[in-house]
């Protein structure tokens, strides 16, 4: 059990220097907050208040945890979020906010941000009645260049199955989050092979672990990428598939399909298969702005408290100055703060554009796809 959640700052435990600086602010802080976060602000505040009441979400001891313990802690948080979601009847948007507010990367992020949207945009209505389960696209040699992916899905007409295979070292799936230890199923992108002809990359559903034992399924090789420069609480992994057979109806057939006779019915527009690939891109700008904002909060507050140098200046009368009053320090912080605000604003536009595009794709329209792909 993590340590108790530390109490929020109040007037009695705020550094006097911070209080003095805040008193000099020439604008309404609440108005700026509303401007930065828009209509989601009140929802974020409400969900944050719920999360801060539970000790599971404390990060007080996080710097001292091993990678393995960080992963376990993330699973504890994920389980608690699911419990809170059911109790409070959170929407999908609420759940995404809660994961962001939890103070840690969530093992279920790709499930919510990529896997579910993939099912919605790629599964037919009939398939969605059966499947609602990591998003496995990136390979060792290729990432977002889908046309170069090497994993294959070969149709076997005699058994009405596809044979999924990663034929080379380069074609092993590499980097997907929640793949090494967490996920039981994945949306895997592979080249569709019919009667020896390559019809390009399509999404398929693949079970990678047994539900009872959580052991890898036959023909499935899984591994953990180990320590990384960040996100060490997430089990990024690799996947090799050795000629694993799946039923034909585990091809995602909302946009294109293969009939029992092995005939290919293409999508109205091949770009429909790329709809969820840009989902993470659309969020990267906003998340980068938030991450920069978090670090700047620490840096700016520290710069308002820490004093160093300047005591030789006549105006200082032997007193050292706050380091934020040093020109270079102020320049670095304020320009970075402006960049954070710009990222948040741009990110909001990107996310709204992506949502409109996702809605259009579900309805069979791809008019926004090129703009979303180019700008993200």
pLDDT of 2 higher than 70 = no
- Residue 3 pLDDT more than 80? no
CB of 202 closer than 8 Å to CB of 187: no
d(CA 244, CA 172): 14
DSSP letters, 155-175, are: EETTTTEEEEE--SSTTSEE-
Range of the domain at 352: 278-375
Residue 356: both structure tokens together: 């409109």
Domain at 30, CATH number = 1.10.540.10
Tens digit of each residue's pLDDT (9 = 90 or more) over 179-238: 999 889 998 999 999 999 999 999 999 999 998 999 999 999 999 999 998 888 889 999
- Nearest partner of 266 among 318, 357, 199, judged by Cα: 199
The answer on pLDDT for 352 being more than 70 is yes
| 246 and 159 in a common domain | yes
Which CA distances in Å does 16 have to 9, 13, 97, 296? Answer: 12, 9, 32, 19
Dist. CA 249–CA 257, nearest whole Å = 9
**pLDDT of 132:** 44
- 3-class DSSP assignment, residue 193: strand
Per-residue pLDDT tens over the stretch 25-81: 999 998 998 888 887 888 888 898 888 889 998 888 888 989 899 989 988 998 999
Task: Specify the pLDDT at position 276.
Answer: 67
pLDDT in tens, 251-270: 988 889 999 999 999 987 66
Backbone angles phi, psi at 241, to 5 degrees: -115, 120
Mean pLDDT of the chain: 86
DSSP state of 112: I
Q: Which of 270, 301, 332 is the last residue of a domain?
A: 270
**C-alpha distance across the termini of the chain, in Å:** 40
Residue 4 in this model has a pLDDT that exceeds 80? no
Q: Within a 10 A sphere around the Cβ of 7, how many other Cβ atoms? A: 8
Could you tell me if 181 and 287 lie in one domain? no
192 and 286 belong to one structural domain = no
Kindly state the DSSP code that residue 120 receives in the 8-state scheme.
Answer: H
Residues 88 and 206 in one domain: no
Number of domains in the chain: 3
CATH of the domain at 282: 1.20.140.10
Q: Is residue 64 part of a domain?
A: yes
| Residues 292 and 335 placed together within one structural domain of the fold | yes
């Amino acid at each position: 059990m993590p340590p108790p959640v530390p109490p929020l700052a109040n007037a009695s435990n705020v550094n006097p220097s911070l209080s003095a600086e805040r008193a000099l602010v020439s604008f309404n802080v609440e108005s700026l907050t509303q401007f930065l976060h828009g209509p989601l602000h009140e929802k974020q505040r409400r969900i944050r208040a719920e999360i801060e009441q539970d000790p599971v979400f404390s990060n007080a001891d996080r710097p001292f945890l091993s990678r393995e313990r960080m992963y376990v802690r993330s699973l504890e948080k994920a389980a608690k979020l699911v419990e809170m979601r059911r109790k409070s009847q959170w929407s999908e948007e609420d759940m995404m906010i809660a994961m962001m507010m939890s103070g840690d990367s969530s093992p279920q992020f790709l499930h919510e941000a990529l896997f579910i949207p993939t099912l919605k945009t790629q599964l037919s209505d009939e398939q969605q009645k059966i499947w609602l389960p990591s998003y496995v696209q990136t390979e060792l040699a290729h990432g977002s260049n889908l046309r170069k992916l090497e994993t294959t899905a070969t149709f076997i007409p005699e058994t009405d199955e596809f044979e999924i295979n990663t034929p080379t070292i380069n074609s092993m799936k590499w980097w997907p989050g929640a793949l090494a230890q967490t996920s039981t199923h994945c949306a895997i992108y592979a080249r569709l092979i019919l009667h020896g002809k390559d019809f390009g990359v399509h999404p398929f559903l693949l079970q990678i672990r047994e539900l009872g034992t959580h052991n890898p399924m036959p023909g499935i090789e899984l591994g953990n990428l180990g320590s990384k420069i960040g996100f060490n609480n997430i089990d990024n992994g690799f996947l090799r598939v050795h000629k694993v057979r799946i039923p034909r109806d585990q091809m995602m057939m909302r946009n294109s399909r293969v009939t029992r006779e092995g005939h290919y019915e293409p999508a109205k527009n091949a770009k429909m298969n790329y709809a969820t690939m840009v989902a993470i891109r659309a969020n990267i700008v906003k998340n980068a702005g938030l991450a920069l904002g978090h670090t700047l909060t620490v840096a700016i507050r520290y710069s308002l408290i820490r004093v160093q140098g300047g005591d030789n200046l006549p105006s200082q009368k032997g007193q050292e100055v706050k380091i934020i009053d040093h020109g270079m320090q102020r320049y670095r912080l304020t320009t970075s703060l402006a960049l954070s605000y710009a990222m948040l604003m741009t990110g909001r536009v990107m996310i709204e554009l992506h949502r409109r595009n996702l809605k259009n794709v579900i309805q069979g329209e791809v008019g926004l796809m090129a703009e979303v792909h180019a700008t993200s």
